[in-house]
Amino acid sequence: MSTDISVTETLDVKGENCPMPVVKTKQAIDDLEADDVLEVVATDSGSMSDIAGWADTTPGVELVAQEEGDGIYTHYVRKTE
């Protein structure tokens, strides 16, 4: 599945387990400008719900999309403010 999302930066957290994908996503998002999109590439299946839950409860971020394939979980998070 391919997306037409304009990615500003990619964060590779493959091999990291909960809570590190969310912790590192938050750190990376803090360094971006409004409307920038962070692509997060993970191998932890729990990151699907963890990053979605974090984005839902965090002001200033929006989960744009999530993809899963071949043991890789890709998340697209936009900084909204």
Q: Which residues belong to the active site?
A: 18
What residues contact 46, with CB distance under 8 A and at least 6 apart? 17, 18
User: Length of the chain in residues, anyone?
Assistant: 81
Grouping H, G, I as helix, E, B as strand and the rest as coil, residue 24 is helix
